[in-house]
Structures are given as structure tokens and as C-alpha cells.
Amino acid sequence: MTDGTTTGSPVGSDGGSQALPGLPDVAEVGTVPVVLAALADPVRLEMVRRMADAPDRTARCVGLYDDIGKSTASHHFKVLREAGLTERTYIDGALHQRLRLAEVEQRLPGLLASVLAGLG
């Protein structure tokens, strides 16, 4: 799953895998302070909540934020990625973000589930 450039096997419109040239390596899941710092911002927390509620924990980038500009959203996505919480993938030619719930759970058992449960 962490081959350095993809989320595993992103699916294209033809049903096959797509290589993701130019996308950065997937970060290791950070320490508790790093992950909590990434989740401390209400915009990022809402992005994570929306991904957690999405099928396969994956959602189009444009569906993950409201009332902020694209460059601000890009910054928030970068913070989440660098903390190891998310990764980018292309599905049918559109950029998506995927919440790395299983990976976070393996590294920090119960942390993300507790945060998400607290959101109601």
C-alpha cells in the first residue's frame, strides 16, 4: 500500500490502475503530537470527518472544504499528508484524498476513532 507514489491501485475510468507520477511519497503516520497538531485546526478536522464518512474513506478534494480558497485548502491537505493521515490519488482523472484510517489505527490505536467519535 505504501509503494511511495500511489494509494495502492487507484482505479481509472477503464477500471485499471493509474500511475501517479509527480505525487510525493506517502508519509509515515506521525507521532501523537504531530497527528493531534494536524487535527487541531477546525478546517482540517472537518476534512478528515468528511473523508471518514465517504465510501472507501476517499473523496474528491473539492468536496472536502467550504468557504476557503483553493490555495488554503492545498495547505491543509499538505499538513494532513505530512502527518501521515491522508494520501492523494487520481480516480477517473480527478484528484482525491484518502484517509489512511487503517494505517493510523495500526500506528496509534484508537486515536483517530476517538477524535472522530467526539465529533458526534
**Complete domains list, the chain, with CATH:** 42-118 (1.10.10.10)
Confidence of residue 27 (pLDDT cuts 50, 70, 90): confident
Confidence of residue 119 (pLDDT cuts 50, 70, 90): confident
What angle is formed at CA 75 by the lines to CA 17 and CA 95, rounded to 5 degrees? 20
Confidence of residue 22 (pLDDT cuts 50, 70, 90): low
Q: How far apart are CA 95 and CA 3, in angstroms?
A: 18
pLDDT of 2 strictly over 70:
no
pLDDT of 102 strictly over 50:
yes
pLDDT of 56 strictly over 60:
yes
Confidence of residue 19 (pLDDT cuts 50, 70, 90): very low
